[in-house]
Amino acid sequence: MNHKVLTFAALTMLAPVIGAAPVRADLFDFLGANSAGTDADGRPLAVAPQRQIVSYQGPEKPGTIVISTQERRLYLVLPNRQALRYGVGVGRPGFTWGGVKTISAKKEWPEWTPPSQMLRRRPDLPRHMAGGIENPLGARAMYLGSSLYRIHGSNEPETIGQAVSSGCIRMTNDDVTDLYEHVKVGTKVIIQR
C-alpha cells in the first residue's frame, strides 16, 4: 500500500474520532478489510485490523485513549499527530455507552467476579474466577473509573471487531498487553458511541 493510500485510509478510519463524517461501510473493501458478515443491525462487520500506527488529526493530547464503538477501534494518541490503532470488541445492542473515564486501576491476569446485573441475566456464570487463560478478562485489565466497565483481554479473540460484550471493551491478549505497557493509572479514556 503506498503512502497516499495509507494516509487516506488512516484519516478515513479516524473521521468519527476527529469529528468528520462517519466512515461508510462500503469503504471497507477499498481499505483492505475483509467482510465478516453483518451485525445484529445488518451493518457489515470488518475483520479487526492489525495493530498499527496511523495519522491522527484530533484535539486529544498524547497518552489519551479514544474508543470509537461504532468503528470498533481503540486509538492511543501518540506524539507527532499519530495514534496507535487497535481492533476491539464492544457492547452488543442495548449495552453500548459513551463518556469520559479515567483508568483507575491496572491488573495483570485479573480475577473476575461477575457483577450482580450480569448474574441476573446469566445465573449460570461462576460467582468468581481466578486469573488465567480461561478467565474472560484475559491477560490484562484496565478499570474505567468506578464503572462496571474495563478495557480487557479476551479468551475469545474471534469476538474482536464485533458487538458482543456487556459493555466492556475487549482486545486480543497480545493487544491488551501492548496497550497496558503504554498507559498508566489516570489515563483519560474517551468512549464515543
Q: What is the DSSP string of 114-161?
A: --HHHHHH-TTS-S-B-SSTTSTTTTEEEEETTSS-EEE--S-GGGTT
Residue 42's pLDDT is: 63
3 catalytic residue (yes or no): no
**Residue 184 pLDDT > 90, yes or no?**
yes
- Pick the catalytic residue: 3, 128, 152, 182? 152
Q: Are 72 and 171 in contact (CB under 8 A)?
A: no
Q: Which of 3, 128, 168, 182 is catalytic?
A: 168
Mean pLDDT of 134-150: 95
The domain of 27 spans: 3-192
Specify the number of domains making up the chain. 1
Q: What is the pLDDT of residues 64-92, one digit of tens each?
A: 999 999 999 999 999 999 999 999 999 99
User: What pLDDT was estimated at residue 50?
Assistant: 86
| CATH number of the CATH domain containing 49 | 2.40.440.10
Tell me the pTM: 0.75
Q: Does residue 128 carry a catalytic annotation? A: no
